[in-house]
Amino acid sequence: MASDIGLFLGQLLTKPHQVVALAPSSRALSAEMAATLDPAGGPVIELGAGTGRITQAILDRGIPAEKVHSIEMNPIFCDKLRADFPGLNVYQMSAGDVGDLEVEGAQAVVSGLPLLSMPYELQNAILTGTFKQVGTAGTYIQFTYGPKPPVKTEIREAMGLTWTTSRKIWGNLPPARVYRFSCPGS
């Protein structure tokens, strides 16, 4: 774990607009991100996997690596994910293209992306592509450090998104909440 903090901070310094976090997600936040996944359900798509903290929590929840599809744009993080998680499906690509992934019957998209700092077009592509993958039964799971939902109001309203929020996870730097979005009309 110490080695992944060094790698994370190195990439934060070279690519601050992509990493946009002070540290990798804590064990407590990662566990909350994975808490509602069904081990017997469909595949899970992960966005912005970074050094793999949330990936590990998804596997700890009982989802086999072969059923996890992790998208990450940073090639150095992709190399680490492939080395650390045999069987994991790793895609070096933009999360904006999540709708193009060939995955049947995904139950959820779990996102460690810095969604709040992303422009409208990219957020819209991520949410539209997500609900193309998971349909009305699936969820988009996203943490945020701020007090408001991390998806822009225009997108929430246009897509008719509904959501639930977790308790505040104090054991994270900074403290965060997990939002679970559904799209009843997709």
How many CB atoms are located within 10 Å of the residue 104 CB?
Answer: 7
Radius of gyration for the alpha carbons in the chain, expressed in angstroms and rounded: 15
Of the candidate residues 31, 34, 54, 106, the single one contacting ligand SAM (CB under 6 A): 54
Q: In the bound complex, what is the minimum distance in angstroms from residue 22's beta carbon to ligand SAM?
A: 9
| Positive/negative CA dihedral, 168, 19, 70, 142 | positive
Segment 111 to 140, residues that bind ligand SAM, using CB under 6 A = 112-114
Residue 41 interacting with ligand SAM (CB under 6 A): no
Of the candidate residues 95, 101, 109, 125, the single one contacting ligand SAM (CB under 6 A): 95
As a whole number of angstroms, the distance between CA 1 and CA 140 comes to 27
| Positive/negative CA dihedral, 155, 67, 165, 73 | negative
Strand partners, 110: 46, 141
- Among 154, 105, 155, smallest CA distance to 125 is for 155
Considering beta carbons, is residue 27 or 156 the nearer one to ligand SAM?
A: 27
Residue 20 interacting with ligand SAM (CB under 6 A): yes
Residue 74 interacting with ligand SAM (CB under 6 A): yes
Q: How many residues bind ligand SAM (CB under 6 A)?
A: 22
Residue 19 interacting with ligand SAM (CB under 6 A): yes
Q: Which residues, at least 6 apart from 168, have a Cβ–Cβ distance to it below 8 Å?
A: 175, 176, 177
Residue 144 interacting with ligand SAM (CB under 6 A): no
Considering beta carbons, is residue 34 or 159 the nearer one to ligand SAM?
A: 34
Q: Which residues bind ligand SAM (CB under 6 A)?
A: 18-21, 24-25, 48-50, 53-54, 71-74, 77, 94-96, 112-114
